[in-house]
Amino acid sequence: MTHAAERPDHNGGSLLGGTYWLLRGAVWGITGFGVGAGLTAIARAAAGEDAWWLPMNFTLGYVVGLIGWLLGVGMWERWGREWFGLRTTEEGSEDWRRYLTFTTDHKVIGVQYLVTFLLLFLFAGLLAMVIRLQLLEPQDPVLSDGTYNRVMSLHGIIMIAVAVASVVGGFGNYFVPILIGARDVAFPRMNALSFWLVPPVAVLLLASQAAGGWDSGWTAYPPLSVRNAAGQVFFNLAIITFGLSSILGGLNFLVTIFLMRAPGMTWGRLPIFVWSMFATSWLALTFTQFFAAAMLMITLDRIAGTSFFVAEEGGKPLLYQHIFWFYSHPAVYIFVLPGFGITLEVLAHFARKPLFAYRWAVGGFLGIVAISGIVWAHHMFVSGMDNKLLAPFLVTTEIISVPTGLVFLSALGTIWMGRLWLKTPMLFAMGVVFNFLIGGITGIFLADVPTDINLSDTYFVVAHFHYTIIGGEIFALFAAIYYWFPKITGRMYNERLGQLHFWTMLIAFNVTFIPMFWAGLHGMNRRIAIYPEDLQAINVFISSAGFVLGASFLFFVANMAYSLVRGPRAAADPWRARTLEWRVTSPPPVENFPAPPVVTGHPYDYGVPGAAAHGVLAIAGASVEADGWRPAGPAPEESKR
């Protein structure tokens, strides 16, 4: 690490000491905000306007404040001082306080992402409980219309953020470098920047409630989002910030996977989770900017008097939907591709079989990436767009089920005739196959324009996307948490609590969401605070099951809390898996490998007679350059696969 020099003891040993960098970031951020908002006020007053107008002063204040926060939380130490030739400081401490600092260690950043988004997941889950509480009563519910709309919108966007970043930011950061035999990502400081852009996003979304929140859902369709409460501006800024984080992360993963693979880690030997992260990163890098651009246009419509989307002034409300879905459909594959990757990874290790049709599964991932960019308008079948567009998007949308089918081929072929070791991670992975099956099949009804005309914007859609996102990604997230818990923490989780969590979650999830298909068919539209009284029985049923689903996470929280402290020490390789992360201690050492790894075989050759090990740790200096573990010289020959 070139920027390491000396270590000032800012931290001390106290709790307050551990939060030094957070506090400094907050102070610098608030100061920056004051400067930005103040200068805007002066400029407005000079122009003869009211000095304070929340949307504009806040927006410009936020831009400066964000820079202040990033510098204060540690960017100044990591970048600024070095650039200006000042004495730089070393990374923070080795204990828990490193999780609260601007560190460049990919494993620490992975944990930072994971813990942050698990907390956000639990919070937005509580909001879901509030939603279900509301819908117990058809005409006389607990929340006012306005509060309900805000709660529903907040639930939506936080869960979207969790879906974007929990697996990618958490497990992607922690395990992609280890799985490819690298000691970190390609751009460690940019990696830290990606994470530290996230706290302002959470703060904005929560603070927006003080400015009236926003009631346009996570989709923020104009003209509503151009004329609703000022909280909408907070939302827009949050999305732009989060998008930047996502783009930087995607770029970082791509470069890491291209350039940092250990000797012998050919494309044909890449663990399937890494392949899924590769595919996802292309989507994040290519499409995220469209969401940010759409949000910028809405912000400008509100504060600068542009009229991109204001019909009376010549704008086009439909234009927004095209730009928005041009990102937001690929985004669902950002959610679910890493979920597929984890699922296939876990299935192979716990079925004790080679990953079935590995190359076809990779083809499926890349096929999804290719087609995902040309299906967006299937979200707009009833938007009033030209009828000529309906048939082409029906066709492209149906086509995407073919590459998705290849993922199922790989999953089912791997399970088939295996020696299924039904530990908690395996149960969750099989749960993904079951849930995503329902999510995928119900998707056909929404890809088909005639049936979608009726089902669009109903609870059928709500059920469908919860099946794909919870069923496809969140179940995989939990598979990954249980699978890698021993590696990350060095302790084993409690198997009994884990299985209890799985079964209650699986059953309650299905009992909650299956009836929503029925409710949608029977006239329950989505995003409503009240509904016709004859739909009360089904909604009470859904809510009751939903509360059980919410309660199932108590098993998870209890398991994590208990096992972190009291769990038995984990061995280096408790699952007897072949991939590289299990070749090192639990938790892995700083910079991952005591000696450079060399990859000599396929990661999933379970039961293959005479198969070489996937990877071995080389004796330092042999056949590998001493510094930088890039492939040096010809790679060991790869078995044809």
Smallest distance, another protein to C-beta of residue 614, A: 14
Candidate residues 45, 259, 422, 554; the one interacting with another protein per rule CB under 8 A: 422
Which stretch of DSSP H or E encloses residue 617?
Answer: strand 615-617
Structure tokens at 69: 């926060």
By CB under 8 A, residue 462 contacts another protein? no
Q: Which residues are within 8 A (CB) of 407 and not within 5 positions of it... i.e. 6 or more apart?
A: 340, 344, 361, 364, 365
Residue number with CB closer to another protein (237 or 426): 426
By CB under 8 A, residue 493 contacts another protein? no
Give the count of beta carbons closer than 10 Å to the beta carbon of residue 289: 18
Residue number with CB closer to another protein (14 or 144): 144
Residue number with CB closer to another protein (188 or 439): 439
Residue number with CB closer to another protein (198 or 400): 400
Smallest distance, another protein to C-beta of residue 49, A: 18
By CB under 8 A, residue 620 contacts another protein? no
Is residue 574 a contact partner of residue 587, using CB atoms and an 8 Å limit? no
576 to 595, contacts with another protein by CB under 8 A?
576
Instruction: Please give the full DSSP string across 300-312, using - where no structure is assigned.
Output: HHHHT---SS-GG
Residue number with CB closer to another protein (130 or 528): 528
194 to 253, contacts with another protein by CB under 8 A?
215-217, 219, 221-224, 227-228
Structure tokens at 313: 């002034």
Smallest distance, another protein to C-beta of residue 317, A: 6
Residue number with CB closer to another protein (48 or 609): 609
272-303 vs 54-70: helix crossing angle, rounded to 10:
140
By CB under 8 A, residue 305 contacts another protein? no
Applying CB under 8 A, the site for another protein has a residue count of 94
By CB under 8 A, residue 533 contacts another protein? yes
Q: CA 166 → CA 198, 227, 448, 473, distances in Å?
A: 12, 32, 31, 10
Smallest distance, another protein to C-beta of residue 140, A: 13
Tell me, rounded to whole angstroms, the distance of Cα 229 from its chain centroid.
28
Cα–Cα distance measured from residue 432 to residue 467, given in angstroms and rounded to the nearest whole number? 9
Applying CB under 8 A, the span of 96-104, 382-390, 618-626, 628-636 interacting with another protein comes to 382-390
By CB under 8 A, residue 268 contacts another protein? no
Residue number with CB closer to another protein (7 or 227): 227
Cα–Cα distance measured from residue 153 to residue 128, given in angstroms and rounded to the nearest whole number? 11
Candidate residues 4, 42, 304, 391; the one interacting with another protein per rule CB under 8 A: 391
Cα–Cα distance measured from residue 180 to residue 434, given in angstroms and rounded to the nearest whole number? 30
By CB under 8 A, residue 498 contacts another protein? no
One-letter amino acid at 552 equals S
By CB under 8 A, residue 496 contacts another protein? no
Cα–Cα distance measured from residue 505 to residue 285, given in angstroms and rounded to the nearest whole number? 33
Tell me, rounded to whole angstroms, the distance of Cα 332 from its chain centroid.
10
By CB under 8 A, residue 399 contacts another protein? yes
Q: Hey, which residues does 599 pair with through a beta bridge?
A: 615
By CB under 8 A, residue 149 contacts another protein? yes
Candidate residues 608, 619, 620, 632; the one interacting with another protein per rule CB under 8 A: 608
Candidate residues 531, 553, 555, 582; the one interacting with another protein per rule CB under 8 A: 531
Q: Hey, which residues does 617 pair with through a beta bridge?
A: 597
Residue number with CB closer to another protein (279 or 426): 426
Applying CB under 8 A, the span of 51-59, 117-125, 494-502, 602-610 interacting with another protein comes to 602-610
Which stretch of DSSP H or E encloses residue 599?
Answer: strand 597-599
- Asked if residue 589 has a cis previous peptide bond (ω within 30° of 0), the answer is no
Give which of 403, 428, 404, 433 is closest to 416, Cα–Cα: 433
Candidate residues 48, 312, 627, 633; the one interacting with another protein per rule CB under 8 A: 312
Q: Where do we find the tokens 């099989």?
A: 430
317-351 vs 145-165: helix crossing angle, rounded to 10:
50
Structure tokens at 159: 């869960």
502 to 521, contacts with another protein by CB under 8 A?
518, 521
Cα–Cα distance measured from residue 137 to residue 430, given in angstroms and rounded to the nearest whole number? 36
By CB under 8 A, residue 395 contacts another protein? yes
Q: Please compute, for residue 23, the number of CA atoms within 13 A of its CA located in the half-sphere on the CB side.
A: 8
By CB under 8 A, residue 534 contacts another protein? yes
428 to 457, contacts with another protein by CB under 8 A?
430, 433-434, 437-438, 441, 444-445, 447-451, 453-454, 456-457
Smallest distance, another protein to C-beta of residue 218, A: 10
One-letter amino acid at 608 equals V
Smallest distance, another protein to C-beta of residue 132, A: 16
Residue number with CB closer to another protein (305 or 609): 609
Is residue 424 a contact partner of residue 495, using CB atoms and an 8 Å limit? yes
By CB under 8 A, residue 54 contacts another protein? no
Cα–Cα distance measured from residue 148 to residue 127, given in angstroms and rounded to the nearest whole number? 10
Angle at 158 (CA atoms; ends 242, 296), nearest 5 degrees: 40
Cα–Cα distance measured from residue 305 to residue 313, given in angstroms and rounded to the nearest whole number? 10
Q: Which alpha helices (H) appear in 97-197, and where do they start and end?
A: 106-134, 145-165, 173-179, 188-196
By CB under 8 A, residue 345 contacts another protein? no
Candidate residues 458, 468, 504, 586; the one interacting with another protein per rule CB under 8 A: 458
Candidate residues 401, 499, 544, 623; the one interacting with another protein per rule CB under 8 A: 401
Residue number with CB closer to another protein (78 or 269): 269
Applying CB under 8 A, the span of 15-23, 248-256, 261-269, 415-423 interacting with another protein comes to 415-423
